[in-house]
Amino acid sequence: DGGITQSPKYLFRKEGQNVTLSCEQNLNHDAMYWYRQDPGQGLRLIYYSQIVNDFQKGDIAEGYSVSREKKESFPLTVTSAQKNPTAFYLCASAGSQETQYFGPGTRLLVL
């Protein structure tokens, strides 16, 4: 059945380490998005991609990187340059309409 999957559900990062969060969708959606949620705050856009091999920075892209080599996949790397990485990360995708559908999220914790 169609949907958006994110893995892992929990991820631990050591100081100075890069970690990659996976996002896969089988909805045949062109657009994919990464958001970050912190306690008491709304969702803030990190990066988005409207088509394969193209992506744009969102509002808080510093310390993150992405790639979009396949339509189905939009991995997010949290680099060591991101000084406050602890958050709940959400991936979303959208088709021809503007409604975005979200995955279950990945919680990143720093050791």
Partner 1 sequence: DQQVKQNSPSLSVQEGRISILNCDYTNSMFDYFLWYKKYPAEGPTFLISISSIKDKNEDGRFTVFLNKSAKHLSLHIVPSQPGDSAVYFCAASASESSGDKLTFGTGTRLAVRP
Residues 40, 49: Cα–Cα separation, whole Å: 27
Q: Which residues here bind partner 1, judged by CB under 8 A?
A: 4, 6, 31, 33, 35, 40-45, 48, 50, 58, 88, 90, 92, 94, 98-105, 107
Rounded to a whole number of angstroms, the minimum distance from the CB of residue 19 to partner 1 is 19
Nearer to partner 1, 36 or 78 (CB): 36
Size of the chain in residues: 111
Nearer to partner 1, 78 or 89 (CB): 89
CB 68 within 8 A of CB 9: no
Rounded to a whole number of angstroms, the minimum distance from the CB of residue 106 to partner 1 is 10
Which amino acid type is present at position 4?
I
Nearer to partner 1, 79 or 88 (CB): 88
Rounded to a whole number of angstroms, the minimum distance from the CB of residue 73 to partner 1 is 17
For 61, the token pair is: 């892209």
Which amino acid type is present at position 34?
W
For 50, the token pair is: 């409207």
Nearer to partner 1, 82 or 93 (CB): 93
Residue written as token pair 């892992």: 8
